[in-house]
Amino acid sequence: MAPRATAAPTLHKVIMVGSGGVGKSALTLQFMYDEFVEDYEPTKADSYRKKVVLDGEEVQIDILDTAGQEDYAAIRDNYFRSGEGFLCVFSITEPESFDATQEFREQILRVKNDENIPFLLVGNKSDLQEKRRVPLDACTERAAAWRVPYVETSAKTRDNVDKVFFDLMREIRSRKSDDSRASNGQVKKGKSKRFKCQIL
Amino acid sequence: MPRDIVGDSLAVLRIVEHEDEETWSLEEKPCCDRHQRERAGGQHDCTCYYNYALNEGASTRPKDPVYQYKTQSLPAACSMSQTWDEVICSALRVSPEDIANQLTLLDLECFRGIKAQELTTCAWNKLNKLTVAPNVVAFTKRFNRVSFWTVQEILNGQSMKARAETLAHFIKVGKKLLDLNNLHSLFAVVSALQSASIYRLTKTWALLSKKDKQQFDRLAELFGEKDNWTALRDYLRSISLPCIPYLGIFLTDLVYIDIAHPAGSPHRVAKMAVVLKALERYQTSEYDIAPIPTVANYLNSVRYIEELQKFLEDDQYKLSLKLEPPSPVSSCIGSKESVKEIAPQGSSTPYSLSPSHRQGSGSLRIHGTYNQSKFVLTHRKCRSLGSNIFGKSHTDEKMDEKTPAGSVNLLDDTLLESPTSVPHDKMSISLPQSILLKSEALECDLEGCVRRKTLMKEGRKPSLSSWQRYWLQISGNVLTFFSSKSFKGCNRSDFRTERCKILSLEGWSATYMEGDSSDMFQLANHHTSTLYKFKTGSESAARLWVSKIDNVRNMTVKPLPVNLMSFE
């Protein structure tokens, strides 16, 4: 069971999306375990949960990564729904994976019904510049069109790995505080429009 | 011949065709099929558990806008008759228990086929997955198809009540699957009910009994991703065989082991062995279930082109929006919304009622991307490449050597464009001299000589497929084919005046094809798993067709506000 909300630090739910083989799991493992990756136990309940200090505040990050299940397209809607922020990962060496980000973005927006959902476009495998097949311009252009940050990472060299998770958590945090401010105010701003539970 | 139930239930005209035939028969709509069958007498006596849905269908269908085109009926030969031998036309006609049982038998066979080495490669989502991990891929495919079928069956309900009934039916199927420990299909069904298309049908869910809702909650809880799928993992540990597990979490575990313990590291083999052993144990499962071939055939008949899954889901989502148009988000208060809510169904773009659209600049982005993504699907490639679809120059000299009737000069292809279809400033940039724009073409929006090849017909590859020349016209949301009179010639006079095929564009999407030849586009119907390739003679013509077909699709799905576009 989840720790009691009053006792536990704020939990930020991050979802990794992207095609198979772009390095989602490598990024996750790097961030979660760093050099202690040997400790990783796939089936433990807290394997993807970690306490971190975000700008002086202790928070918990919960990462959902369905690496390996990319072809189980039918399950996406539901777990996207549970996410508070998304790292949309592609490999800069693989244009198809870059193309796929478009679909992931669309699907996330559809499910969350929220264009301001915390979201980072992440170009992974930045260590493989010589094999680069997705031009930087295209990446930044897409990120600008979506109005989301673009960051290049390397799970291998650990370049920017912490940055993407922390940047996303900051967005989630600021989003949450916007929301609570909005819900305390008299009139909710459109910005705070969240996907309400429509059933049950 | 297995039926494509997906296609059957599609609310479009269904065209039955045979390659190389001159005449085409126009298929009646699904509900009519049902009635035909019923008229035909009791020869198809499948157990009818809930046949009310059929009756309801009859009364509501004709209101469908597509129906008007039925009046153009061509000879109404019913060439589908051979497929009705053993008819199960809807999931409601099969008891939840039978569905669950037969799904389980089908799943088990597929699941037991999975080999350990398919799993250890971690290549089931790589490019070579079909050769390296064919059984894993097949098992995953089963999952997606069951899920897709569940969504489609619910959306096919003609009334809200019918949809709620189907929804409840599938919850019962889910319960039976749980009883059988078939977590694979159970998750597929649960995912379907949680998909964007079904989840948002608030009014439909509201019609469910409390008992059904609670049942669904219990089923869904099992598949919560919370705490690394703890609920599911615990449940799997708690039950005894037989069991068909949800393979997905094992796949994720393997991928993570693969990364955490790369080849050569000491724990890799042992860690992977734990996963493999668990799966091997499940593979020894046996079920004492008698096969029911009619039900199995029905369940097996769900098929579509995997690559088109995304488009398929988009279509389902559009249908869902049509069935229950989005209402203002609950956080929004004020009289405006309540007024808007009364607006006629389907008359607004999705989300246009949502508060974001009244928030100034912040809303523009979603409007742009969303509409694009939702309704101009076929432009995704172009957008992803950052190119203007009309802005590219091209060579239209390209001839296709493979074309059988090689003497046809594609440069002579003539396309007629009505003034309203595409803004001229865009077209004039790139259209070659071979494409003529004429404003007097009133009865059709676009026409021209094309060649067509069938890549996939109702989920099957045609044994013989060649390029056929047609005169093609779009008018309204209908694509009309005229067969050729002679072996060559690309003018209108080289084709017959009587049409050989009429195709309602609903459910079809066109995509420009990048490839060896730049003049091709592809027309796909994911519901019927049918895929055609068209050659138009030039890139701009291909793009024009794509954009035109798109426009039509968008029009039929959701008309844009009048101030943005006019559709006279």
Instruction: Check B248 against A49: CB less than 8 A apart.
Output: no
Q: CA B204, CA A62: separation in Å to the nearest integer?
A: 33
What length is written for chain A?
200
Determine whether the interchain pair A42/B257 forms a contact, defined as Cβ–Cβ distance below 8 Å.
Answer: yes
Cβ–Cβ contact B58 with A under 8 A: no
How does residue B43 score in pLDDT terms, banded at 50, 70 and 90?
very low
B60 by DSSP, 3-state: which?
helix
Alpha helices in B421-497 (DSSP H): 424-430
Residues of B in Cβ contact (< 8 Å) with A27: none
Could you tell me which residues come within 8 angstroms of residue B67 by beta carbon, excluding any fewer than 6 positions away? B29, B61
B413: nearest Cα among B494, B479, B490: B490
A148-152, B127-131, B370-374 — most confident range: A148-152
Quote the pLDDT of residue B439: 36
Residue B148 at interface with chain A, using a CB cutoff of 8 Å: yes
Nearest-CB residue to B213 (from A38, A145, A200): A200
Of A23 and B425, more confident: A23
Of the candidates B125, B265, B359, which has its C-beta nearest A21's C-beta? Answer: B125
Can you tell me the mean pLDDT for B520-546? 85
Asked whether the beta carbons of A14 and A86 are under 8 A apart, the reply is: yes
Residue A89 main-chain phi, psi, to 5 deg: -105, 135
Asked if residue A138 is part of any domain, the answer here is yes
Q: Which of A40-54, B354-368, B411-425 has the lowest mean pLDDT?
A: B354-368
The closest CB to that of A64, out of B147, B225, B265, belongs to: B225
Give A185's pLDDT tier (boundaries 50, 70, 90).
Answer: low
Q: Under 8 Å CB-to-CB from B370, ≥6 apart: which residues?
A: A106, A109, A115, B350, B351
Tokens encoding B548? 């035109």
What part of B 336-395 touches A (C-beta under 8 Å)?
Answer: 351, 354-356, 358-359, 362-363, 365-366, 369-370, 373-374, 380-381, 383-386
**Three-state secondary structure of B222-272:** HCCCHHHHHHHHHHHHHCCCCCECCHHHHHHHHHHHHHHCCCCCCCHHHHH
Q: What is the CATH number of the domain that holds A149?
A: 3.40.50.300
Does the pLDDT at position B318 exceed 50?
Answer: yes
Contacts of B31 (CB under 8 A, 6+ apart): B54, B57, B58, B61, B158
CB contact under 8 A, B199 and A198: yes
Q: What is the pLDDT of residue B441?
A: 39
Residues from chain B contacting residue A65 (CB–CB below 8 Å): 252
**A189 and chain B: CB distance < 8 Å anywhere?**
yes
pLDDT reading at B14 higher than 80: no
Nearest to B548 by CA among B444, B453, B455: B444
Where does the pLDDT of residue A7 fall: very low under 50, low under 70, confident under 90, or very high at 90 and above? Answer: low
Quick check: A70 and B125 CB within 8 A? Answer: yes
CA distance B567 to B551: 10
Among candidates A70, A73, A190 on the partner chain, residue whose Cβ is nearest the Cβ of B358 = A190
Check residue B15 and give its pLDDT: 31
Give A48→chain B minimum CA distance, Å.
Answer: 7
Stated as kind and residue range, the H or E segment containing B144 is helix B134-156
CB contact under 8 A, B363 and A190: yes
**Residue to substitute from A48, A69, A184, interface B, most B β-carbons within 10 A:** A69
Higher pLDDT, B67 or A66: A66
Please give the C-alpha separations between residue B173 and each of B44, B61, B142, B163, B467, in angstroms, as whole numbers. Answer: 24, 27, 16, 15, 45
Give the model's pLDDT for residue A8: 72
- DSSP β-bridge partners for residue B381: none
Exposure of B456 in the CB half-sphere (CA atoms within 13 A)? 20
d(CA B261, CA A76): 27
Per-residue pLDDT, A200: 43
Is B195 close to A77, i.e. CB distance below 8 A?
yes
* B191:A78 CB<8 A: yes
In this prediction, residues B147-156 reach a mean pLDDT of 92
What residues of chain A lie within 8 A of the CB of B228, using their CB?
43-49
Which residues partner with B483 through β-bridges?
B470
Structure confidence at residue A159 (pLDDT): 92
List residues bridging with B305 in a β-sheet.
Answer: none
What is the mean pLDDT of the segment spanning B106-126? 88
Check if the beta carbon of residue A114 is closer than 8 Å to that of residue A126.
Answer: no
Residues of A in contact with B227 (CB under 8 A): 2, 45-46, 49
Q: Does B268 touch chain A (CB under 8 A)?
A: no
Q: How many CB atoms lie within 10 A of CB B402?
A: 12
In total, chain B counts a number of residues equal to 568
Could you say which architecture CATH assigns to the domain B91-300?
Answer: Orthogonal Bundle (1.10)
User: Considering only CB atoms, which chain A residues are within 8 Å of B309?
Assistant: 73
Provide the pLDDT for residue B54: 34
Please give, rounded to a whole number of angstroms, the shortest distance from the CA of B88 to a CA of chain A: 24
Report yes or no: A87 and A48 within 8 Å, Cβ to Cβ. Answer: no
Residues of B in contact with A81 (CB under 8 A): 194, 199
> In the predicted model, what is the mean pLDDT of chain A?
86
* pLDDT at residue number B386: 34
- Residue A54: is its pLDDT beyond 80? yes
Residue B164's pLDDT band, with cuts at 50, 70 and 90, is very high
Q: What is the pLDDT of residue A63?
A: 93
Residue range B106-117: average pLDDT?
A: 91
pLDDT at B291 over 70: yes
The Cα A62–Cα B425 span in angstroms is 51
The boundaries of the domain holding residue A185 are 10-192
Q: What is the pLDDT at residue A86?
A: 96
Q: How far is CA B229 from CA B155, B189, B223, B226, B232, in A?
A: 29, 17, 7, 5, 6
Average confidence score pLDDT of chain B: 68
For an interface test with B, which of A113, A136, A183 has the most B Cβ atoms less than 10 Å from its Cβ?
A: A113
In terms of average pLDDT, the best of A60-69, B13-22, B25-34, B551-560 is: A60-69
Cα B519 from Cα B452, distance rounded (Å): 12
Contact A74 B254 (CB under 8 A): no
Does pLDDT of A3 surpass 60? no
SS3 B133: coil
Q: Closest-CA residue in chain A for B140?
A: A72
pLDDT of residue B554: 67
Q: What is the mean pLDDT of residues B478-487?
A: 81
For residue A200, the distance in angstroms to the closest alpha carbon of chain B comes to 7
The verdict on residue A96 lying in a domain is yes
Best to test chain A binding among B189, B199, B210, B381 (most A CBs inside 10 Å)? B199
CA B338 to chain centre: 34
Residues of A in contact with B307 (CB under 8 A): none
Q: What is the mean pLDDT of residues A114-129?
A: 93
Average pLDDT over residues B31-46: 38
Q: Among all residues of chain A, which has the CA nearest to that of B360?
A: A190
What total number of domains does chain A contain?
Answer: 1
Q: Where along chain B do its domains lie?
A: 5-84, 91-300, 306-375, 410-557
Q: Whole-model pTM?
A: 0.60
Q: What is the mean pLDDT of residues A78-88?
A: 93
Q: Judged by CB atoms within 8 Å, which residues 155-194 of B form the interface with A?
A: 187-188, 191-192, 194
Whether domain B410-557 has CATH 2.60.40.1120: the reply is no
Residue B155: how many CB atoms within 10 A of its CB? 23
Lowest-confidence region among A42-51, B209-218, B226-235, B353-362: B353-362
CA distance A101 to A80: 14
Confidence of residue A34 (pLDDT cuts 50, 70, 90): confident
Identify the pLDDT of residue B484.
82
Residue B500, CA distances (Å) to A68, B81, B414, B461 in order:
47, 21, 19, 22
Contact (CB<8Å) A103/B137: no
pLDDT recorded at residue A90: 96
With 80 as the cut, is the pLDDT of residue B470 above it?
yes
Structural domain includes residue A167: yes
pLDDT at A70 over 70: yes
Q: Which residues of A touch B185 (CB under 8 A)?
A: none
What is the interface pTM, i.e. ipTM, of the complex?
A: 0.85
The answer to whether B378 and B509 are in contact (CB under 8 A) is yes
pLDDT given for residue B328 in this prediction: 60
Considering only the beta carbons, identify the residue of A21, A37, A43 that sits closest to B260.
A37
Of A105, A188, A200, which is closest to B217 when you measure between CB atoms? A200
| Contact yes or no for B248/A72 (Cβ under 8 A) | yes
Domain assignment present for residue A198? The answer is no
Cβ contacts of B331 on chain A, cutoff 8 Å:
188, 192-194, 196
Chain B environment of A40 (Cβ under 8 Å): 256, 260
Half-sphere exposure for B286 (CA within 13 Å, toward CB): 1
User: pLDDT per residue over B384-407, tens digit each?
Assistant: 333 333 333 333 333 333 333 333
Q: Which amino acid is at A40?
A: Y
Question: pLDDT tens digit string along B419-454?
Answer: 333 333 333 333 333 333 333 334 677 888 888 888
Q: For residue range B238-276, what is the model confidence (pLDDT) as tens digits?
A: 989 899 999 999 999 999 888 888 888 888 888 899 999
For residue A124, list its beta bridge partners: A91
Q: Which of residues 109-168 of A touch B (CB under 8 A)?
A: 109-111, 113, 115-116, 138, 141-142, 145-147
How many Cβ pairs within 8 Å bridge chains A and B? 184
Interchain proximity B329–A198, CB inside 8 Å:
no
Beta bridge partners of B531: B456, B524
At residue B545, the pLDDT reads 87
Q: What mean pLDDT do residues A130-151 have?
A: 94
What is residue B344's DSSP assignment? P
Residue B24 pLDDT greater than 70, yes or no: no
pLDDT of residue B364: 32
pLDDT given at position A64: 92
Query: Which of A38, A99, A192 lies at the smallest CB-CB distance from B384?
Result: A99
